[in-house]
Amino acid sequence: MSSPSDLQNLPQPAGFPHFHFVSGELHVESLALSTLAKQYGTPLYVYSRAAIGQAWQSYVNAIGSRRVLVCYGMKANSNLAILQEFARLGSGFDIVSDGELARVLKAGGDAGKVVFSGVGKQAWEMEQALAAGVKCFNVESVAELHRLSDVASRMGRLAPVSLRVNPDVDAQTHPYISTGLKENKFGIAIETASEAYQLAKSLPGVEVVGLDCHIGSQITEVSPYLDALDKLIALIKELSGHGIHIKHLDLGGGLGIRYDDETPLDPSILLNKVFARLDSFGLTHLELVLEPGRSLVGNAGVLLTEVQFLKPTADRSFAIVDAGMNDLMRPALYEAWHGVLPVRPRSDFAPTQWDVVGPVCESADWLAKGRMLAIEQGDVLAIESAGAYGFVMAGNYNSRPKAAEILVDGVEHHVIRERETFEDLVRGEHLLR
């Protein structure tokens, strides 16, 4: 994705249909990204509403007439306006904290479509979720099951429960985002799941309603899902023999997106195989629950950043930009690849190789390495595929304010988060008397 020399024949960013070049300038929908950068400054997160809608529609088309609840995995991007858009589309939500539940409710989401995941739910979080009336708790340990039983009994409530089972399936993804192996902290080992379900059936304040599994993220192959599904189906049959009848099957999320040269898995390819497998085992009565996050928002966003200095050295050449690892953590955390495009590509000189690095005082503070770019100081770059696990993982390291967020809708745009100020950074802190 280097800058081409012929501005009249710029290739469109592959896989990102709502980010495109018009007259030699990168646009999101009908707006020039340079206009937004000039008006709001950088670093700046920019999202396409149309891209989100298109990603959502890919699931709707794949589901057809089947009984499926899509619960957006909001840890990918939890801005209130993004949640509001998913609520408007009819989405449920996969949450992992009381704070995320509060966001869903504030954005107009339906608590009855919320599944509460996460390995460390505290008692007060359980209380809030029970009071709100969430669809289900995805319980991840026997200890959590006992705590939930105690909390629900004390409140005089019946907690709907789905046990998250760890099937020991390799999702063939980065180890930090693989969650379905036996060495991972998530879920209950499938070998002991039947015993855990029988315990759940015997506990007061608990109602078994589902079976849950989530094997990882950025998955681009069908086979890991089907390997896990086969084990889940066998467990469902075993539980039925113990008088435990599952109402819904939650396959989690994890479908990947394009960052570089990946071929993302269309939801229809996965779901057609899942439906066929369920039908062949007589499980058509089950409601299917999905928890996609990255695949709904990842390619819908970019991070705009301005080149502050160019620093060629004997070993490497550095393009120092104003966005850092505090703004986009993924490269430092996962050594993740993000495409880099100049918003206004240059044709007056040839591209050379640059490491795009930030201003944070850490050697891990880089956004891209070894990229062929024709750039000068003051140019604005678009870091692609930043709609998921971008702003949501941002922090204030080096006392750096968090970026603003913009949602573009055709020719219009909305400020969905203002840029932080110094006053925001120190709010809640107190000097000693």
Q: What is the pLDDT of residues 131-181, one digit of tens each?
A: 999 999 999 999 999 999 999 999 999 999 999 999 888 655 445 444 444
Q: Torsion angle of alpha carbons 291, 297, 298, 303, nearest 10°?
A: -150
**Quick check: is 213 catalytic?**
no
Binding-site sequence positions for substrate: 294, 330, 334, 362, 389
- Position 325 pLDDT exceeds 70: yes
Residues constituting the chain? 433
Under DSSP, the state recorded for 113 is: G
Q: What is the pLDDT of residues 177-236, one digit of tens each?
A: 444 445 567 789 999 999 999 999 999 999 999 999 998 889 998 998 999 999 999 999
Closest CA to 174 of 60, 101, 259, 278: 259
Q: How far apart are CA 46 and CA 360, in angstroms?
A: 22
Predicted TM-score (pTM) of this structure: 0.94
What is residue 12's predicted lDDT score, i.e. its pLDDT?
64
- Provide mean pLDDT across the span 60-66: 97
Dihedral of alpha carbons 293, 295, 301, 303, sign: positive
Closest CA to 373 of 393, 350, 390: 350
Binding-site sequence positions: 254, 291-294, 330, 334, 362, 389
- Provide mean pLDDT across the span 387-393: 98
Q: How far apart are CA 333 and CA 331, in angstroms?
A: 6
- Residue 3: pLDDT band (50, 70, 90) is very low
The rounded mean pLDDT for the chain is: 93
Q: How far apart are CA 157 and CA 228, in angstroms?
A: 32
Q: Choosing from 71, 136, 213, 361, which is the catalytic residue? A: 361
Q: What is the pLDDT of residues 241-286, one digit of tens each?
A: 999 999 999 999 999 999 998 889 999 999 999 999 999 999 999 9
- Decide: residue 300, CB within 10 A, 0-12 exposed, 13-18 middle, 19+ buried: buried
Binding-site sequence positions for pyridoxal 5'-phosphate: 254, 291-294, 389
Q: What is the pLDDT of residues 19-47, one digit of tens each?
A: 999 999 999 999 999 999 999 999 999 99
Domains 7-49+298-426 and 117-292 share a fold: no
Closest CA to 295 of 385, 205, 375, 187: 385
Sketch the domain layout of the chain as residue ranges.
7-49+298-426, 117-292
Q: How far apart are CA 271 and CA 275, in angstroms?
A: 6
Residue with tokens 């809640």: 428
Classified by CATH at the fold level, domain 117-292 comes out as TIM Barrel (3.20.20)
In CATH, what is the architecture of 7-49+298-426? Beta Barrel (2.40)
